[in-house]
């Protein structure tokens, strides 16, 4: 803005001044030429013939006209007071004119344009004298000065307006940024519930909104983390407390019979096994959270399913559960073999675990359009509708005691859900109309045989 104002105050004036200079010099030169013309024809110049010739020249409104002879002696001077008649004039212009050059110049000084022009007077190619004209113009200079002062006033007004406006704008801006900074500092110090209060619809308000939604997510993540840590410690505490109780009982009971000792030690072993299952699952979840995954490959799900079925059939047989499976189409997905194994194992293990003896568990693997769909159905007790939305949360169990008795950690479905989602798939739980639970996993189908 300052640069624009400086330019506005200098450039037009500079251009107009230059134009006036040139116009003045040219017009004065023309006037001098007219005067030289009126003197042409005279073989030599003297006061009389010059005065006669100059008398017919129109009143030009010039401040001063001088006519000199070839030696520079003034023969004619229009200045009324203190004229220079008879004296020698050595104005630069006159000297130059007597040397045969036309001279014209204009300058501005002390609120007036001062223009000077001089030309030689020739007779038969001989310089017989010179005509010099001088113009003093304060009127046009005043006009230009008026323009200059108007421009100055306008610039001052514009400058003040720009200053006020930028002051107001920057104050509003710094206030908003200050509010946002305060909010950022508070959240950084741990006050996750604090939100930035910035009004308006500008970029800073949008930034504040983004910051608030980021803080929302941070708060949700932080809450989940706290809940997870407290749930995990609680889960680890229970078997540890049991182990402690059992060892205390062995140590404090005098003359304990070997049978009871064996029973207690077996219980300690079972609790230790549970501890290791929980820590294994926790580690698996931590790995999933960290985002470090095995590089994906095109995996045919069917051989993995067959392997899990072979493993599970023994457990199912023991419980009297009928375990069947079927498959349709080429079911290839982009994942790792271990992940697929874990997903099928967890879902089938749950179905067998939570169904009463004599139930049937059916697993089907189908290629449907651009999806590979795995369903694990049982005809057990199913899952209460109100528990369905939270079923995939970490440590969430419908029946805590039953899950513990069955050796569950409450992390199996959370692992399934995280693993499936990491590979772009989905998993959902529901109940069959005829009774029993049904879990459906959908992966994007990957054309077989090609490595990504
Ligand atoms: P857990 O280690 O307790 O089995 P999961 O995360 O695998 O943990 O499952 C969470 C809860 O979901 C279980 O505790 C159980 O109450 C319920 N559940 C899972 N699968 C079934 C099923 N097939 N039938 C009935 N309830 C189920």
Answer for the pair 5, 155: CB distance below 8 angstroms, yes or no: yes
What pLDDT sits at residue 225?
87
In this prediction, residues 92-121 reach a mean pLDDT of 92
For position 59, what pLDDT does the model report? 62
CA 291 to chain centre: 26
Q: Is the CB of 376 within 6 Å of ligand 1?
A: no
Atom 2, ligand 1: which residue's CA is nearest? 408
- Distance (Å) from CA 429 to ligand 1 centroid: 10
The per-residue pLDDT for 86 is: 87
User: What is the rounded distance in angstroms from the CA atom of residue 35 to the CA atom of residue 206?
Assistant: 78
- For residue 451, pLDDT over 70 is answered with no
- In sequence order, the 6+-apart residues with CB closer than 8 A to the CB of 91 are 66, 116, 118, 132
CB 410 near ligand 1, within 6 Å: yes
CA nearest neighbour of 136 among 117, 111, 112, 110: 112
- Radius of gyration of the chain measured on its C-alpha atoms: 53
Whether 161 contacts 148, CB under 8 Å: no
Residue whose CA is at the smallest distance from ligand 1 atom 4:
408
For 88, phi then psi, to 5°, come to -95, 135
Q: Which residue has the higher pLDDT, 264 or 61?
A: 264
**How much is the pLDDT for 449?**
59
| The pLDDT value given to residue 452 | 43
Q: Which residues pair with 76 in a beta bridge?
A: 67
Neighbours of 256 (CB within 10 A): 13
Which of 235, 354, 440 for mutating ligand 1's site (highest number of atoms within 8 Å of CB)?
354
Question: Distance, CA 419 to ligand 1 centroid (Å)?
Answer: 17
Distances (CA, A) of 343 to 93, 415, 420: 107, 8, 8
Residues of the chain with pLDDT > 90, as a percent, come to: 61
Evaluate: CB of 437 within 6 angstroms of ligand 1: yes
Q: With the CA atoms of 438, 444, 446 and 451 taken in that order, what torsion angle do they form, in degrees rounded to the nearest 10?
A: -110
Whether residue 246 has its Cβ less than 6 Å from ligand 1: no
Q: Whose CA is nearest to atom 25 of ligand 1?
A: 382
Report which protein residue has its CA nearest ligand 1's atom 16.
398
- Determine the average pLDDT of the residues in 238-262: 91
Q: Which atom of ligand 1 is nearest to the CA of 380?
A: 24
Structure letter (DSSP) for residue 366:
E
Residue 388 has pLDDT above 80, yes or no: yes
Per-residue confidence band for 201, with pLDDT thresholds at 50, 70 and 90: confident
Mean pLDDT of 311-315: 94
pLDDT tens for each residue of 120-168: 999 988 999 999 999 998 888 888 888 888 988 998 999 999 999 999 9
Model confidence pTM above 0.85: no
Model pLDDT for residues 340-370, shown as the tens digit of each residue = 999 999 999 999 999 999 999 999 999 999 9
Phi and psi angles of residue 114, each rounded to the nearest 5 degrees, phi first: -120, 120
Least confident piece of the model among 37-41, 242-246, 339-343, 360-364: 37-41
Ligand 1 pocket check for 380: Cβ under 6 Å: yes
The response to whether residue 342 sits with its C-beta less than 6 Å from ligand 1 reads no
Q: Give me the percent of the chain exceeding a pLDDT of 70.
A: 98
User: Can you tell me the mean pLDDT for 236-251?
Assistant: 93
Question: Could you tell me the distance, in angstroms and rounded to a whole number, from the CA of residue 339 to the centre of ligand 1?
Answer: 19
| DSSP per-residue string spanning 394-450 | TT--SSHHHHHHTT--S-HHHHHHHHHHHTT-EEEEEE-TTSSEEEEEEEEB--TT-
Classify residue 359 by its DSSP letter.
Answer: -
* Helical axes 2-39 vs 139-188, angle rounded to 10°: 170
Atom of ligand 1 nearest to the CA of 350: 20
Residues 6+ apart with CB under 8 A from 242: 267, 268, 271
DSSP label at residue 181 = H
Q: ∠ CA 270-273-279 to the nearest 5 degrees? A: 145
Look at residues 345, 353, 348 and name the one whose alpha carbon lies nearest to residue 363.
348
Which tokens go with 169? 């704008």
Q: What is the chain's mean pLDDT, rounded?
A: 90
């Amino acid at each position: 803005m300052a640069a624009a104002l400086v330019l506005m105050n200098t450039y037009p004036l500079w251009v107009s001044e230059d134009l006036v200079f040139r116009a003045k010099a040219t017009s004065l030169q023309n006037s001098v030429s007219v005067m030289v013309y009126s003197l042409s024809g005279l073989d030599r110049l003297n006061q009389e013939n010059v005065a006669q010739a100059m008398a017919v020249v129109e009143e030009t409104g010039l401040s001063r006209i001088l006519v000199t002879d070839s030696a520079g002696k003034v023969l004619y001077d229009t200045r009324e007071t203190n004229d220079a008649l008879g004296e020698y004039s050595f104005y630069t212009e006159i000297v130059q004119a007597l040397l045969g050059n036309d001279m014209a110049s204009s300058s501005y000084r002390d609120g007036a344009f001062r223009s000077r022009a001089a030309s030689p007077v020739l007779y038969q190619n001989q310089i017989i004298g010179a005509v010099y004209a001088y113009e003093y113009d304060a009127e046009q200079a005043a006009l230009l000065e008026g323009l200059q002062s108007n421009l100055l006033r306008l610039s001052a007004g514009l400058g003040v307006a720009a200053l006020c406006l930028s002051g107001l704008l920057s104050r509003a801006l710094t206030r908003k940024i200050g509010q946002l900074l305060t909010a950022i500092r508070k959240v950084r110090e741990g006050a996750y519930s604090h939100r930035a209060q910035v009004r308006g619809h500008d970029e800073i308000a949008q930034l504040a909104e983004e910051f608030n939604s980021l803080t929302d997510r941070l708060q949700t993540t932080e809450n989940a983390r706290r809940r997870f840590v407290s749930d995990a410690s609680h889960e680890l505490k229970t078997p540890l407390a049991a182990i402690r109780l059992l060892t205390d009982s062995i140590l404090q009971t005098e003359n304990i019979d070997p049978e009871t000792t064996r029973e207690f030690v077996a219980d300690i072993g079972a609790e230790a096994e549970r501890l290791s299952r929980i820590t294994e699952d926790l580690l698996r979840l931590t790995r999933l959270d960290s985002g470090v995954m095995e590089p994906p490959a095109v995996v045919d799900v069917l051989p993995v399913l067959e392997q899990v079925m072979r493993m599970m059939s023994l457990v199912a047989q023991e419980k009297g559960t009928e375990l069947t499976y079927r498959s349709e189409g080429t079911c290839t997905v982009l994942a790792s073999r271990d992940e697929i194994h874990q997903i099928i194992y967890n879902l089938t293990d749950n179905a067998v675990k939570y169904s009463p003896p004599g139930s049937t568990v059916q697993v089907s693997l189908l290629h449907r359009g651009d999806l590979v769909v795995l369903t694990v159905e049982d005809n057990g007790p199913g899952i209460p509708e109100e528990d369905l939305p939270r079923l995939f949360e970490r440590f969430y169990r419908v029946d805590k005691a039953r899950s513990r008795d069955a050796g569950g950690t409450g992390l199996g479905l959370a692992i399934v859900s995280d693993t499936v989602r990491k590979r772009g798939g989905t998993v959902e739980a529901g109940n069959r109309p005829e009774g029993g639970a049904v879990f459906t996993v959908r992966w994007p189908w990957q054309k077989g045989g090609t490595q990504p």
